[in-house]
Structure 1
Amino acid sequence: SAVFLGLMSRPECGFTGMISPDSVAADGSFAQPIGTGPFMWGEWKKGEYIHLEKFADYVSPENEGKPDGMVGSKRPLADGVKFMVIPDASTVKAGLESGVLDTAEISPDLIPEFQASDTMQLIVARNNGKNLFYIQTRDKVLSNPGVRRAMAMALDLDQLVAAASNGTGEANGSMVSQDSVYFSETQKKRLPYDIEAAKKELADAGYNGEPISIIANKRGNVPSFPAAVMAQAMMQQAGLNVQIEVLDYATQVDRRRSGNYQVISQSVAPRLDPALMYSFYVGDKDENASLMWDDPKAIELMNAAYAEADQVKRQKIFDEFHELMLKEMPGIFLYDMVDVWGATKKLKGQPVWQSNARLWEVSVTD
């Protein structure tokens, strides 16, 4: 398996759980988590906070003195870490301004304010996650690849990404992250922004103004809604009858999992290997309705990427996959996700990696 280590260390919502036998009580119930890292379990107050304590006896792996998210330096420089549950973005901002909070994820529209602050700092870090438009390839209208290609060619992707990301993102039409060793010249290819070519694709496909609905949510830390608004305006210029349906995130997830959608403006958490990213989108839709693309060749290439360990051979697999995706356009990939965090200027270190808090090698000065 070429992805075994990636599976064992995956940071996203499908991560692998490894549980110590000592975490389970004599009656079989779960007692508490026992990890292997620089912090250990302290206290959990449901709906309020989780407190971790410094593990004083922790020995960091041999390293060059820098954290790298894998096996770099992992010293616990703080006595403890308290994760607060704060659902309101304005309260988070006020907490950072007052110093009650040391660091937190913030809404991208606060970037100029944090850049200009004397007491706060801005932390922007790209990760392997994806912002994209899921397309239901079994929909009556969208089952035609020509319509899907027209949708992609109607987008001025650079302009859309700049606006939707508040200038933090860079357009990437590939499933492969820009920071991956597999992000080749082939992966940089994307369909051109060409309104007239999009109109021709629609005419050839027999499109006759049928409505196309984009589902979006208004969570502040993802570009779901602004990306949908920009796409709607751009696609309408090519003659696409695009509408937007705003749902709460939980309902949006249910719609994706059931396959009940035409287009979804979606953000997908980071995967550490392109094949793991593929598996979130590609496969038998009859067995798993949440999957986006069930092209037999795409499934064959994904399975090959799971098995093939040679980097040169894997590169050929990923490049062939990307060329096929540009032809079939089962979804429109916009840009790699960007973590936008704020912190007090007293905080030293990098508190986020691949959309997860990483609090080793992080400290707060007096």
Structure 2
Amino acid sequence: MCIVGRRKKYPKLPNGFGSIKRLSGKNRTNPYGVYPPTTEFDSDGNPVPVKALCYVDDWYKGFTVLTWYKHGEYYPGREKELTEAGNSSLNGMIEKILSKYSQSKREIADQKTFADIFLEYYENKFGQPYNHPGKKRPMERSVCAAYKNSSVLHNESFRNLTANTLQSVVDDCPLKHASLELIVTLFHQMYAYADANDLCDKDYSKYVTINIDDDDEHGVPFTDEELVMLWKNQNDPTIELILIMCYSGFRISEYLSLEVNTTDWSFFGGLKTDAGKNRIVPIHTLIRPIVIRRLNREKTLLPVTTQKFRVRMYDVLESLGIEKHTPHDCRHTFNSLCDRFSVVERDKKLMLGHAFSDVTNKVYLHRTLEDLRGEIEKIKLCR
């Protein structure tokens, strides 16, 4: 007998609550096994199977049994009360227990601080406690650094956090751009964990931005001799993108989603800062044939992951006898070329996605695609 209609998704049981398993076989009278929480583990750390408390014909009856067990109110055979009760009284009992459970679960979640959620998230992600002995992996160290740099939130109720609260942590942090990126990434991951476990009402991390230029983007531009060598080998697929980057200035990750308009010959896209997002850069005439060739062959500018491209880039530069350069050095090369060929500073900043500090340029600057094209075309081929 099924008192409550079967649902596609049952409430998620918290850790230490026990489990309800549907057993195999179609003709079982009581197909749901109700199991208490595991308390013993073998030498390998695997849970030792426990004996079922009972077997019932409905998941919600099993839930009721576990609720009784959790509060010390279950005794062997008590599940028969659920079978003997009338439909209306049983439905009322289950509804009352569900309501009490949901309320209790909400109250527990409301009490969790940012630190509480972080500790849960950390163990869930890395499979060990935050303060575990031993050497931490690079990703763990990054997460820990971001957590420490968010110390102002540690004792705050996680559910009561807002986008403004999170944003203020990033805005008030005096550290460099790379550290701010780690903080924002931590927010995203913690909210993903919290959302999956009913510990938050809304993902406020998606509204957080980094509102400063990337101050950690150091690099060494390609020399004139190196650029000449690249142009001589422009038919190499890897060198194609290196040249495109040197003459357009986007970050390597931005080429993954960059829009290419071959009608008005422009790139559109950008990531990271507000100034860097949705910016437009004319496609220099020098690289137009390369862009077309690459699109015809690959259908996109960057068909592999940024990491794979880095490896290919390092290999091809080594084969040409060129000193190691990173993809970000291409962005520095574009900046250097703009300076050498007297591209107007404001237009260079627009194309690189750098923010303006003065009100005049920040609010009143309006430049057309043709204005920018006139500037970028000042750049000539190095010989």
Instruction: Give the TM-score category using the shorter length.
Output: under 0.3
**TM-score under structure 2 normalisation?**
0.21
**TM-score under structure 1 normalisation?**
0.22
Q: Which has the higher strand share?
A: 1
Q: Which has the higher helix share?
A: 2
For the pair shown, the structure with the greater C-alpha radius of gyration is: 2
Q: Which has the higher contact order (CA 8 A, sep 6+)?
A: 1
